[in-house]
Amino acid sequence: MALPDVLVAHLIDTIKSNDLSGRFAMLGRQRWIGTRKGASARLLADTMAKYLPGVTEDALHNADDAYSEALFKVLGFSQVDSIDYSPFEGASIVHDMTKKLPKELRGAFDVIYDGGTCEHIFELPKAYANIDKALKPGGVLIGHSPCNNWINHGFYQICPEMIYGYWEKARGYEVIDVILQPFRPAVALKGVRTTNPNVTGVRPRLLGVLPENAPVMINYVVRKPLTKKKRGGGVYQTDYMNKWDDAEAGADAEA
């Protein structure tokens, strides 16, 4: 997995604006692919000036390799781990996220970062359930996942309905933010948000315009509840739930 500057800027903004700290785990050992020219480089520079005044970009890079532990330590985390299926990139924790979570990883992390791992895991619900188990109460999941125009990148592309339907409705998480992030820097500076189907009763609608045929990431931030809540039932798409409810209401009226 690799972090372009646009996503590094979003990570810095998310972590600092929400005052996140403690023990941090990234799924897969993230590499930072380095500064690009143009709008994305300016976005990173502006973000660093706002949240990390006086810190040079060199201080955010590992001294001996291209990975990103230094970035997260500068951002204030006391311990930075990486979790991967294989030790091929030197992850500090080797574990298959579709298998039973070891006792020592349950409730271990204040923040988990999925920077492009879960879409490669075929048994996605099991991976998500393990993320939930690995987070402390009040812990935060930050996700950067392919959303559109990433054909054959992984098994899945993650859409806003997944965030609102699974994490908010079924798991009881607080949705802090959901942004669709095109990989065209001129548009990517702000991204596009959507409506919340749990509020509107219909599937998410774009609150802006995305460029045609451009790869789009979904950037989302969700917080685990402090106390365990009863799950909100299964995970179903909003529009179909409304149709089922209407059909049941009609059947009751006929009876």
Please provide the CATH number assigned to the domain covering 2-254.
Answer: 3.40.50.150
Closest C-alpha among 132, 162, 130 to residue 145: 162
135-148/109-114 β-pairing: parallel
- CA 61 – CA 223 distance, rounded (Å): 27
- Mean of pLDDT values over 137-145: 97
- Give tens-digit pLDDT for 157-173: 999 999 999 999 999 99
Answer whether residue 188 shows pLDDT above 60. no
Residue 43: strand, helix, or coil = helix
- CA 221 – CA 178 distance, rounded (Å): 7
Q: What is the dihedral of CA 241, 163, 119, 34, to 10 degrees?
A: 160
- CA 193 – CA 164 distance, rounded (Å): 13
Backbone angles phi, psi at 234, to 5 degrees: -75, 180
- Give tens-digit pLDDT for 88-138: 999 999 999 999 999 999 999 999 999 999 999 999 999 999 999 999 999
pLDDT of residue 249: 65
- Give tens-digit pLDDT for 211-254: 888 899 999 999 999 987 666 667 888 878 777 777 776 666 66
Q: Is the full-model pTM beyond 0.85?
A: yes
* Helix pair 5-17, 39-51: axis angle to 10 deg: 20
Are 117 and 88 in contact by the 8 Å Cβ rule? The answer is no
Is 232 or 67 the better-scoring residue by pLDDT? 67
Amino acid identity at 6: V
Closest C-alpha among 44, 51, 60 to residue 15: 51
Is 42 or 54 the better-scoring residue by pLDDT? 54
pLDDT of residue 214: 86
Closest C-alpha among 238, 224, 116 to residue 165: 238
